Amino acid sequence: MADRGEAGGKDGDDREPQGAEGGEDVVDDPIMEQGAVVLRGYVVALINAEEPTRHLSSEQLGGRPNELQDPQVKEVVEQLLKIADEMNRNAELQRYARRLSVTQQ
């Protein structure tokens, strides 16, 4: 997520602000930043569980080293994985999803 602030930087510079070096996210809102960290954690955990040989890291998705070591982030990611697993196992929900996809075609 590149910073899309107003054009015109400091000292009358008219260039648009660029994202952080190395592809890191630039987020000014702490809630959005925390959400991005949790989403990266979810994607990393999901991919690494389904494709263990891939070894996806947070940094490859624009994150920072060790950002997924926060116990609160780990807990939220763990809960999201459990919710997704429960939804995938819910036969009634799967029937509704299949029915919905058929009616949209």
Distances (CA, A) of 55 to 9, 13, 69, 85: 39, 41, 16, 21
By residue count, the chain amounts to: 105
| Pairwise CA distance, residues 28 & 33, whole Å | 8
Chain mean position to CA 41: 7
Q: Return per-residue pLDDT of the chain as tens, 105 residues.
A: 444 444 444 555 566 555 555 556 666 788 999 999 999 999 999 999 999 898 899 999 999 999 999 999 999 999 999 999 999 899 998 888 888 877 776
Rg of the Cα atoms in the chain: 19
pLDDT at 96: 87
What's the burial of 100, exposed, middle or buried (CB within 10 Å: 0-12/13-18/19+)? exposed
The per-residue pLDDT for 40 is 96
Residue with tokens 């400091």: 10
Q: How many CB atoms are located within 10 Å of the residue 15 CB?
A: 8
